[in-house]
Every structure is written in C-alpha cells, then in structure tokens.
Structure 1
Amino acid sequence: MTDRQIECWLTDMDGVLVHEGQAIPGASEFIATLRDAGRPFLVLTNNSIFTARDLAARLSRSGIEVPEEAIWTSALATATFLADQVPNGSAYAIGEAGLTTALHAAGYTLTETDPDYVVLGETRTYSFEAITKAIRLIKGGARFIATNPDTTGPSTEGPLPATGAVAAMITAATGRSPYYVGKPNPMMFRSALNRIDAHSETTAMIGDRMDTDVVAGIEAGLETFLVLTGSTAPEEVDHHPFRPSHVVDSIADLIPRV
C-alpha cells in the first residue's frame, strides 16, 4: 500500500487514544511526540455532546495532554459547514453544550421560530417535545442537518439511542432525510484539514473503525492507519471492499513515524 511522507495527523479518539476513560498504551507518548515535533494534528470525534474544552479536560484526566484547539468534533464541523452555507443563519438545535456553543460561535441564532435549519445532535435526554417541534419545523420548510449518523452511544448500563436513531424517527415522520456532517462523511475530514492548513497528500488518519474512520479517510484522499485497539478485529478487515493503507496493533506503533 502507499507510504507517503506524513506531515500532519488526524486521529480518532475512542478506541485509538482512550478506551472507557483510560489511556491506551502509547497514546500519551504519541501526542507528546507530535507536539514536540511541531506536527499539526487534530483529534476527531463524532461526539457532539461536549465542547472541545470539555474533551481536552477528559483526555487530560486520562493522562493525555491535548490542547482544546486540537480537538475537532462533529458539532464544530457542523457549525462550520452551516456558517459556510448560510452565514449568520438560524437553527433549532437538539443537543447539548458542544453543539449549541459551536453554533453560537459560528454566528448562528438559536430559535424555535422559522429557523433556516433543524440541527440534530446527541443528548442523553432526548425530549419527545423537542423531537415533535423538530418534525413540525422540518415539515414547515426548515432544512434538516444531523451532526453524525451513529445510531447508538455507550453508557455504563449499555447502549443508548444516539443521533442516527433519532434522525430515523424524524425522517419517518417527515419524509426528509438529514445531511450528516460527521464521519463517515469526508466533509468532516476536509474541514479538519482546512482548520490546520493541511493537504490531503501529506496527512494521515488514524482510526479503529473501518466503516467510519478508514472509509472517510480514503474518500478524503488521506493515508489511513487502522489500529486494532478498538472496534475492528483483524479478521474483519477483509470483510470490507476497501482497505486501509496500513494495519497496526496500536497507536504506539506509529510513534517512530512522527
């Protein structure tokens, strides 16, 4: 497979840097090596609940020091996309601080009255009232955007319904499918590249999922590294019609490449 000179790095968070709140061996050293070498990088996540500052603090508690400006969430990518599509627009948002803060920072007004967009993100407390309001606004002409297509999210008690599952409910009621900005849409990767002024030819993506990280990295033209510390088992790689550029045991194996 390809073996380019890598100048910039994108990496997934869960399954690559951390697992259930604990740092994966080598993750802290990899990030420290990037920072010491002055390599531009971003940590990508489809999680739209938390702000970049929140996530930086969570990573720090696990022993991984990532500046908040080096974290790129699906909420930030969504807000950037909307600001480009309709500058200073309006939105009815279902989500938490990660989403509403990003929309405000992008110049958006949050409203329940005739918004340009209904924006669906992730929350631990989806409200039937809020979903009903979203359905009525979309049927009234608002465009439908969702931060990511993940159908479930983790919790200590087991899986929880996530953005994709609630989007399916709204689609069933309206006949309107959302535009998903987060992974596996390569749009999220392209906005990340723009944020660090990187070029696809000299950027790599590290992920643990073939169906999001790897396929989106391929579609964005990046070198791709699949790590086996998360969702994908080695025997599952050949089940997909596409392949990562490289398969490695963990992010620790990539420290010498920085």
Structure 2
Amino acid sequence: MSEILTRTRAWVLDVDGCLMQTARAGGAGGRAMPRAGEFVAALRGAGHQVVLCTNASQQPPGRYAAHLRQHGIDIDDADVVTAGSAAADFIAAHHDGARVLAIGDAGIVEPLRAHGVDLLDPATDSPPADVVVVAAADDYTTTVINAGCLAVDAGAPLYTTVASPWFHGGLGKSVAVSTAMAHAIGWVTRTEPTVLGKPSPQLGQTLIRRFGIDPSQIAVVGDAAAEIDLARAVGAGSVLVLSGATDETALGALPEGRRPDVVATDVAELLDLLTPHLATQGARA
C-alpha cells in the first residue's frame, strides 16, 4: 500500500462523484456510491479525522449532512464544509465590519449570518457593498446582479465559491451556476473573481488549522483535478477516484504536476486497500 495512505490520519473527502453519485451538487437527489458509508465509518472507527468537503453552496452544511445520513453516510453537521461555508469563514475573518452583498441562496446567507456579518439588501440599502460574494442559487434577480456590478465597479472585491465551469457528480454534467454568474459580473466590471472553495489555498489553510496536524498526514480524496490541486496547495496527499468527473482518459491527459499520488476506481476499492491498516489502528484505539 502507498506510504501516503499509511501515514494519513485526517481525510478531506469530496461528496459528488466520490461518496455520492448525483446530478446535483452536495449529493442532492443522488445515491451513495458502493460502500461509501462503510468507508467513512471505517476511517472514523480507526480514530481518523474526517471532513466532507463539497463545492456545493446553495444549501447550508447541515442540510447536505442530513441528506448524506439518509443515504447511510454517518457524518455530523459540523464535519461538512461547503464552498459556501468556507467563503463565509474567509469573509468573516478577512473583512471584519464590511457590508457584504451575498448573491446566492441560504448556503451562503446563513453561514454569513452565523458569523454576524452585515448583509446588504440591494432592494432597500445603499451605498454599494464593501464585498461581493457569489454562490449557487436557482434564481438571480436583476436588482441583485446590478448591485453586485455597481459594488465591484466601485472597488469591492469579488469572490466566488467555485471556479469550475461544469459540475460533475457521476451522472453527467451541468453548468456551475455560481461560476457563470461570478464571471458575468467579472466580465462587466473587468474583474477576475477570487475563488474561496476548492481548490483555493484559503480553504486549504482553514482545513489544516482544523485538523491541527502536519499536512503530510492529511489526504484529499475526490474525483476531479480540484481535489488534486487542493492537496498540492497545502502539501497533503492526493487520492483520485475514477467514479465521477475524471476517467482513465482524462487522468492520462493530466500534466505531470497535477497527477494524483494514489488512484482508485472508487471509494470501495480505496476501502479494500486501507482495511488491513485501519483494522490494526482500530484495535489500538
């Protein structure tokens, strides 16, 4: 077994295309990958730290966690990190006292409110926001889009939860709406959005602080280059599963610097690789 797997004590697990097969972000409406719940339980049973990290941002972490539990993946609300909650953490830490325009749904609004951030309502408030952040939603109003453009044009930083143009969850692909909307505002204002979800180093540093161990003891597991890039950004190990966005052909096309440390067909195969090692650790725990 790979040395990277044997030294790992903390795991960042992707959801869509990794633990869940779905056509919607955060595992919504999908079904668990084979042995996904068993895989998470085995890691926790061996005393390892586990965080589920998804680039979904339309709903709060607790909503996604509840859905995963319904599909046999036993995870606490606090152990789910979304691109929306990660963006809220960053903005609260780096823009203290700022008026923030959140362009999105409950997945960005609720985490910002939990931090006590002053949220601007473009229908009633003025002047322009100090900070603009874009997350996923079913609908974006003209009023909100205009307020975002005016604020960024006036100098407000523009953040987005994700940068990938497409969402892949193992059942085809669909447009990443937060990426599309953030870049629409960016095009109008000639501003490049800053990404706060995967694979941003900002998110990576937050995860490292949470685990409190050396990055070499952390592994990031996912089905896309975003997870590989996140691992590289923080010095963690990278594990690619071929059950979602990346197949054998796409893997072969990755440049040398973006290749994963470990490749598995899916989390069931990864569990088989880890089982003897985890059983020994579980017996000592």
Counterpart in the other structure of 1:225: 239
Residue pair 1:89, 1:107 contacting (<8 A) in 2 also:
no
3-state SS of 1:115 partner: coil
Deviation at 1:154, TM superposition (A): 7.1
Change (3 A) 1:161 1:11: closer
Determine helix, strand or coil for the equivalent of 1:159: strand
Contact 1:119 1:144 in 2 (8 A): yes
1:110 matched to which residue of 2? 119
Paired position in structure 2 for 1:9 = 11
Q: How many residues align?
A: 257
* Counterpart selection for 1:43 from 48, 52, 67: 52
Q: Aligned residue for 2:213?
A: 198
Amino acid paired to 1:130? V
Distance (Å, rounded) in 2 between the aligned partners of 1:227 and 1:110: 39
Show CA shifts across 1:69-100 (max 9, x none).
11011111111111221224320111111101
Amino acid paired to 2:138: R
Give the letter aligned to residue 213 of structure 2: A
Identical-residue share of aligned pairs (%): 28
Q: Give, in angstroms, the shift of residue 176 of structure 1.
A: 1.5
Determine which structure has the larger helix proportion and give its number.
Answer: 2
Residues 1:33 and 1:154: Cα distance change in structure 2 (over 3 Å): closer
* Cα distance change on mapping 1:209 and 1:131 into 2, 3 Å: same
For structure 1, the 5+ residue unaligned runs are none
Question: 1:247 Cα shift?
Answer: 0.5
Deviation of residue 151 (structure 1)? 2.6
Q: Report whether the alignment pairs 1:55 with 2:64.
A: yes
Question: Which residue pairs with 1:147 in the alignment?
Answer: 161
Structure 1 residue 35, shift from structure 2 partner: 2.2
What amino acid does structure 2 have at the position aligned with 1:183?
K
Asked whether the equivalents of residues 152 and 165 of structure 1 are also in contact (C-alpha less than 8 Å), the reply is no
Query: Are residue 100 (structure 1) and residue 109 (structure 2) matched?
Result: yes
Tell me how far 1:3 sits from its aligned partner. 1.9
TM-score, normalised via structure 1 length:
0.92
1:106-147 deviation per Cα after TM superposition (whole angstroms, max 9, x unaligned): 221101433220111111112222111110111122221111
Is 1:122 matched up with 2:119? Answer: no
What's the TM-score, normalizing by structure 2? 0.84
